[in-house]
């Protein structure tokens, strides 16, 4: 009864040790598992390093058990008596508990091995110890099965799943190369893993395919100890592979609810609710028995009845009941394929002699879902008769539609011969045809087909027919922008499919509804719908529906770009996936990647309506670099959108943005208004927000209010990136918080400096615009090329532009311009002269035929800074934003200050030293640049301080604080000689203007006397 000896080679099992340590905090720990699971060895290894006593129980008398108990306890409590003089279990228990209560002063654990074999007085003794022993005393009971006595509530159980070797532990025994195979074949069963280790150590390179005779004998010895009902249950499970409680009950094992979990705890089964399988190699031994066809047949009947059609097919194939396989495929092929069983269907068909034309339809449907379009078409052609019937027409038409050829699907429909009696195949064909006709621009016929579908559904009867009919009307309502009808019809369609029990049809309808929600009205609702669809699909045993495209689109519309790309990658590389990827990259400011995906999408043959969106998006991407191509693309997109009445909002917006980028404000204004109205009617909040942004770009009044409204609409739509984009565009107009919004957008992976046809890109400088340089010299460039002097015709035209530049886009009254240009001329001719100069200046500045860089009214004249890149205006915008950020201690302030400093290339219009309007502007520019340098000089690095302070003193040589800071910075940088020289300069400058220095003794010497 002493603690068993440990093997020479013992695997370190830290996870199991920790589990036992935690469990030991309970009053009783039950370690339950079948033979070979290492209960005794694992617990003995743990007990050897803990304060534990060991009692081997087994089938023994009370007398021997009590003596063994005392002997075990005396190992830790030597003052206990050698034996007890009593023959009653309760009396022995009371004495032992009393002794423990007296002598125990620290926790003590008693391990009882083979406790499940105890009965009678022995069982009552251990039961009493479990229920009545002192608090410091706890027990660990090892057993193969259920215990024959009561246990306390404070109980913890460890079973075979926790005793199993982990992958790392298996590798420690058999080596890393064989560990994966061994772990898979044994589920970590310690006895089986040990046998594999012995086989490998004798020279085998890898485990044998069947586990070997030794493992079979091990499995046989385990099964020999089980009653016949358990062996029958295990044999059925081994034949079927995996089972549920309900299936076992259907097979006649009425106590499966209790038996399966118990067998799992003992290590005969693996898995957990809802499915179990037999542990290998026990399963291998049980499957050697011949027969089992009846069990498989009954399992197939149960699986089909409960909707597990793919499982039913597997059982019938394994039973080789080919007649029943054919019947099942004809009844349930769609459900099996939807559950991921296309391969299983095709493999089953290889065993059949296809003498029923309908089996060709089954084969074609499976091939279609595998992506084998040509193979599917070949199967459908084999199924065809002289007359094209609806059962074949809807399948072939759907195949053509999926490959982007709806016109061929329409042709098939028009050749279909309908029966006198309405069928579900006819209703389905009519419903699908509504989409084909709608996508080829035949709107009136599509509407008539929907009405015809409704009549056929009434004649056919049934919830499924009603679902297909409602789906057709819902599709039309979605494209018409009728949100009320859309919700009503798709709701009725989903309800009809649910009532019919056709889960696949229900999921198809709800996925289609989610696509429309993602595309226009509510991407957040689309994601919620898809979440429910996925859960329902998994519950029904179906493969996750094709939701990835829709989820990718919804995430794109919500500004969740990383998630969108992840879903798009799962969705594949068709037109839909490529267009969604391109939209993500366009919104992130990555035109190169967006163009690559769009070029690939447009290169795919077919008439997919998504080509409208592809053209519109590509136009926005190309508008800056290739405006002519962009205009051709948007014209095609708008024409196609109007013809099909699909994707009209994005097409109009694309044309508007392309026009605005090209300077055609009138066209942009019209498209903004049209898109705004259409998006409002359709409930397209993203389209409405973008239309507001486009309207802001064309507005003659301050656009801040429109951009603020756009930001609110984006926010309501759940698109944080869209809202930030509108806020940044507004900030760029006001010069407030620009760095903050730029940084937030960068945090979402969005570049803000890319010229594209959108609200940010249209506000960026473009090489095709007029550039006016006033800092460090006056120069005008058109498309990057200086304007030749001959084009000016007069110096006054140059002066006029300089005056307008000094006002940085602010309107200048005409009388003021006359006074500045002709101060001594009081005649009436100056007004005409100004008109001539304006005409000359227009010729100089004009680049686009439809763009007007001069904003001239009856009373004022100004430069349109959306068409003229004016360096001094850019400097003020950047400097103002940088100084605001600096005052707020924004982390981005330093970078912005550097940007502003780099924009200052010299004095404003230095060639105009005496003109008062130029002097005033020059001083303002110089003051702003001084403020920028003063802020930059606050950097902690003294070397950098020296550079900024030196430049600051070049602007103002009498700036005392700059002098003092420069001297201190030089000393901090270790440049003491230069610091002393600069100190002398400082004293001299102060002496020159008669100011007493505030720092007269930086070098400990008398200050120079001020004269």
pLDDT in tens, 290-310: 678 889 999 999 998 888 888
| 342, part of any domain | yes
Query: Do 753 and 662 share a structural domain?
Result: yes
State both tokens at 344: 């299983």
| Strand locations in 273-397 (E) | 275-278
Same domain? For 759 and 700 the reply is yes
Same domain membership, residue 388 and residue 447 = yes
**685 has a pLDDT exceeding 60:** yes
Q: Which of 163, 179, 201 is the last residue of a domain?
A: 163
SS (H, E, C) 404-431: CCHHHHHHHHHCCCCCCCCCHHHHHHHH
Both tokens of 688, joined, read 């409405």
Average confidence (pLDDT) over 188-199: 84
What sign does the dihedral 331-336-342-344 (CA atoms) show?
Answer: negative
Distances (CA, A) of 934 to 901, 937, 989: 11, 5, 19
pLDDT in tens, 619-668: 999 988 888 899 999 999 999 999 888 899 999 999 999 998 887 888 99
pLDDT above 60 for 542: no
In a domain, 508, yes or no: no
Within a domain: 300: no
State both tokens at 139: 């027990």
For the segment 126-137, the average pLDDT, to the nearest whole number, is 93
Of 363, 383, 403, which residue constitutes the final position of a domain?
383
| Domain coverage including residue 332 | 311-383
Looking at residues 702-709, what average pLDDT do you find?
Answer: 85
- Asked if residues 345 and 362 have their Cβ atoms less than 8 Å apart, the reply is yes
CATH code, 114: 3.40.50.300
Are 545 and 337 in contact, with CB atoms under 8 Å apart?
no
Do 633 and 736 lie in one domain? The reply is: yes
- Residue 919 inside a domain? The answer is yes
Mean pLDDT across 462-488 = 93
φ and ψ at 56, to 5 degrees?
-90, 115
The CATH number for 862's domain is: 1.10.10.10
For residue 552, name the pLDDT band (cuts at 50, 70, 90): very high
pLDDT the model gives residue 700? 65
Query: For residues 308 and 377, what is the distance between their CA atoms, to the nearest angstrom?
Result: 28
Query: Which range among 545-559, 641-655, 771-785 has the greatest average pLDDT?
Result: 641-655
Positive or negative torsion for Cα 23, 29, 32, 38: positive
Tokens of 956: 């103002």
What stretches of 857-930 adopt beta strand conformation (E)? 860-863, 868-870
Number of structural domains found in the chain: 7
User: Which residue has 């944080």 as its token pair?
Assistant: 720
Looking at the fold, whether 786 and 927 belong to one and the same domain comes out as yes
Average pLDDT over residues 246-273: 85
Average pLDDT over the chain, rounded to whole? 86
Is a pLDDT exceeding 90 seen at residue 1009?
no
- pLDDT confidence tier of residue 832, bands split at 50, 70 and 90: confident
Partners of 271 in beta bridges: 276
Q: Retrieve residue 1007's tokens.
A: 């200050």
Same domain, 726 and 801: no
Kindly state the helix (H) or strand (E) to which residue 510 belongs, with its residue range.
helix 503-516
Q: Same domain for 646 and 757?
A: yes
Report the CATH number that the domain containing residue 645 is assigned in CATH: 1.25.40.10
Q: Are strands 108-113 and 137-143 parallel, antiparallel or unpaired?
A: parallel
- Please report whether residue 570 resides in a domain: no
Which has more confidence, 307 or 598?
A: 598
* Contact between residue 12 and residue 171 where contact means Cβ atoms under 8 Å apart: no
User: What local confidence, expressed as pLDDT, does residue 274 receive?
Assistant: 77
pLDDT higher at 856 or 1011:
856
Residue 601 lies in a domain: no
Is the pTM higher than 0.75? The answer reads: no
Q: Examine the pLDDT at 136 and tell me if it is beyond 80.
A: yes
Is-contact 270 279, C-beta < 8 A? yes
- Residue 702 three-state SS: coil
Condensed to tens digits (0 to 9), the pLDDT of residues 202-213 reads: 665 555 544 556
Residue 916 included in any domain: yes
What angle, rounded to 10 degrees, do the helices at 463-480 and 424-439 form? 10
Domain boundary pick from 453, 474, 495: 474
Q: Does residue 434 form part of some domain?
A: yes
Q: How confident is the model at residue 87 (pLDDT cuts 50, 70, 90)?
A: confident
**Does the pLDDT at position 1004 exceed 70?**
no
At 1010 the pLDDT is: 37
Residue 219: predicted pLDDT: 78
The pLDDT assigned to 474 comes to 94
Q: HSE-up of 672 (CA within 13 Å, CB side)?
A: 25
Q: What pLDDT score was predicted for residue 766?
A: 47
Same domain, 389 and 369: no
pLDDT (0 to 100) of residue 343 = 86
Mean pLDDT of 40-49: 91
Q: Give pLDDT tens digits for 338-396.
A: 777 888 888 998 888 877 788 888 888 888 877 787 888 888 878 777 778 898 888 88
- Residue 269 belongs to what H/E stretch? strand 269-272
For the residues 570-598, what does the mean pLDDT come to?
89
Say yes or no: 371 and 398 in one domain.
no
Position 1007 scores a pLDDT of: 43
Residue 765 has pLDDT above 50, yes or no: no
Instruction: State the Cα–Cα distance between residues 453 and 447, nearest whole angstrom.
Output: 10
Q: Is the peptide bond before 274 cis (omega within 30 degrees of 0)?
A: yes
- Choice among 32-46, 81-95, 992-1006 with the minimum mean pLDDT: 992-1006
Q: Count other C-beta atoms under 10 Å from residue 676's C-beta.
A: 22
- Whole-number pLDDT of residue 768: 42
Question: How far, in Å, CA of 746 to CA of 608, rounded?
Answer: 34
Positive or negative, the CA dihedral 887, 893, 899, 902 is positive
Q: Based on the fold, state whether residues 269 and 317 are members of the same structural domain.
A: no
903 and 971 together in one domain: no
Same domain, 627 and 668: yes
């Amino acid at each position: 009864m002493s603690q068993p000896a440990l093997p020479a080679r013992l695997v370190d099992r830290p996870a199991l040790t920790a589990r036992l340590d935690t469990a030991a905090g309970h009053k009783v720990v039950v370690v339950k598992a079948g033979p070979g699971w290492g209960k005794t060895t694992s617990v003995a290894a743990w007990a050897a390093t803990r304060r534990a006593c060991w009692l081997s129980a087994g089938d023994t008398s009370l007398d021997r058990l009590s003596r063994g108990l005392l002997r075990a306890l005396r190992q830790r409590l030597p003052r206990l008596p050698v034996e007890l003089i009593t023959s009653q279990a309760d009396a022995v228990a009371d004495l032992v508990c009393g002794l423990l209560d007296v002598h125990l002063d620290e926790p003590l654990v008693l391990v009882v091995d083979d406790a499940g074999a105890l009965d009678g007085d022995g069982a009552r003794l251990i039961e009493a110890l479990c229920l009545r022993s002192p608090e410091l005393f706890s027990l660990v009971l090892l057993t193969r099965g259920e215990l024959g006595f009561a246990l306390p509530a404070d109980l913890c159980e460890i079973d075979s799943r926790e005793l199993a070797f982990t992958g790392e532990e298996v590798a420690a025994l058999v080596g890393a190369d064989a560990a994966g195979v061994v772990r898979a074949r044994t589920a970590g069963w310690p006895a089986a893993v040990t046998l594999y280790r012995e086989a490998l150590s004798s020279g085998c390179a890898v485990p044998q395919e069947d586990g070997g005779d030794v493992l079979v004998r091990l499995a046989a010895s385990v099964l020999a100890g089980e009653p016949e009902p358990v062996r029958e249950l295990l044999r059925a499970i081994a034949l079927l592979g995996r089972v549920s409680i309900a299936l076992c009950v259907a097979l006649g094992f009425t106590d499966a609810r209790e038996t399966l979990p118990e067998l799992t705890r003992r290590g005969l089964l693996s898995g957990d609710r809802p499915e179990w399988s037999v542990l290998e190699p026990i399963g291998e031994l049980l499957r050697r028995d011949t027969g089992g066809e009846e069990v498989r047949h009954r399992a197939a009947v149960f699986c089909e009845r409960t909707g597990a059609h793919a499982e039913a097919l597997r059982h019938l194939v394994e039973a080789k009941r080919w007649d029943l396989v054919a019947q099942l495929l004809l009844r349930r092929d769609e459900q099996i394929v939807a559950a991921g069983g296309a391969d299983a269907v095709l493999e089953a068909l290889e065993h059949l002699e296809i003498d029923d034309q309908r089996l060709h339809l089954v084969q074609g449907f499976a091939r279609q879902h595998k992506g084998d379009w040509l193979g599917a078409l070949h199967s459908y052609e084999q199924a065809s008769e002289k007359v094209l019937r609806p059962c074949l027409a809807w399948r072939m038409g759907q195949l053509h539609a999926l490959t982007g050829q709806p016109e061929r699907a329409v042709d098939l429909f028009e050749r279909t011969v309908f029966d006198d009696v309405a069928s579900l195949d006819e209703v389905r064909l009519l419903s699908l045809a509504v989409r084909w006709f709608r996508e080829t621009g035949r709107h009136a016929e599509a509407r008539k087909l929907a009405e015809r579908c409704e009549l056929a559904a009434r004649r056919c009867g049934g919830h499924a027919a009603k679902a297909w009919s409602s789906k057709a009307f819902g599709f039309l309502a979605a494209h018409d922008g009728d949100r009320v009808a859309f919700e009503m019809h798709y709701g009725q369609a989903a309800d009809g499919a649910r009532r019919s029990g056709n889960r696949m049809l229900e999921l198809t309808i709800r996925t289609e509804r989610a696509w429309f929600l993602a595309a226009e009205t509510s991407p957040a609702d689309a994601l919620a719908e898809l979440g429910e669809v996925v859960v329902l699909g998994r519950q029904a045993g179906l493969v996750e529906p094709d939701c990835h495209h829709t989820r990718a689109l919804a995430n794109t519309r919500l500004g969740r770009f990383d998630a969108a790309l992840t879903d798009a990658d799962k969705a594949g590389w068709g037109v839909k996936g490529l267009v969604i990827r391109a939209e993500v990259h366009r919104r992130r400011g990555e035109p190169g990647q967006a163009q690559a995906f769009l070029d690939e999408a447009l290169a795919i043959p077919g008439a997919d309506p998504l080509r409208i969106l592809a053209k519109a998006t590509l136009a926005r991407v190309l508008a800056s670099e290739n405006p002519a191509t962009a205009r051709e693309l948007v014209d095609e997109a708008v024409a196609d959108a109007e013809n099909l009445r699909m994707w009209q909002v994005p097409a109009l917006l694309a044309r508007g943005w392309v026009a605005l980028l090209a300077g055609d404000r009138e066209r942009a204004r019209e498209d903004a208004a049209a898109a705004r109205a259409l998006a409002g009617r359709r409930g397209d909040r993203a389209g409405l927000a973008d239309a507001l942004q486009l309207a802001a770009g064309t507005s003659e009044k301050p656009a801040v209010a429109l951009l603020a409204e756009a930001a609110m609409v984006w926010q309501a739509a759940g698109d944080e990136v869209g809202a930030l984009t509108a806020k940044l565009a507004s900030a760029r107009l006001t010069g407030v918080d620009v760095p903050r919004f730029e940084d937030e957008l960068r945090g979402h992976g969005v570049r803000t400096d890319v010229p594209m046809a959108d609200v940010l890109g249209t506000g960026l400088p473009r090489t095709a615009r007029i550039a006016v340089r006033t800092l460090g010299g006056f120069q005008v460039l058109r498309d990057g090329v200086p304007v030749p002097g001959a084009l000016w015709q007069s110096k006054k035209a140059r002066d006029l532009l300089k005056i307008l530049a000094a006002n940085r886009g602010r309107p200048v009254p005409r009388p003021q311009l006359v006074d500045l240009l002709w101060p001594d001329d009081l005649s009436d001719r100056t007004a005409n002269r100004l008109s001539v100069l304006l005409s000359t200046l227009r010729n100089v500045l004009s680049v686009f035929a439809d763009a007007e860089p001069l904003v001239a009214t009856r009373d004022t004249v100004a430069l349109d800074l959306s068409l003229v890149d004016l360096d001094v205006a850019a400097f003020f915008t950047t400097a103002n934003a940088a100084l605001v950020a600096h005052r707020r201690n924004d982390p981005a302030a330093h970078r912005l200050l550097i940007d502003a400093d780099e924009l200052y290339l010299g004095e404003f219009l230095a060639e105009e030293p005496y003109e008062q309007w130029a002097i005033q502007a020059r001083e303002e520019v110089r003051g702003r640049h001084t403020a920028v340098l003063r802020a930059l000089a606050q950097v902690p690095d003294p070397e950098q301080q020296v550079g900024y302070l030196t430049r600051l003193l070049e602007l103002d040589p009498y700036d005392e604080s700059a002098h003092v800071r420069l001297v201190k910075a030089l000393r901090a940088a270790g440049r003491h000689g230069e610091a002393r020289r600069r100190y002398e300069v400082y004293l001299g400058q102060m002496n020159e203007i008669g100011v007493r220095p505030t720092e007269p003794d930086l070098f400990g010497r008398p200050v120079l006397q001020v004269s």
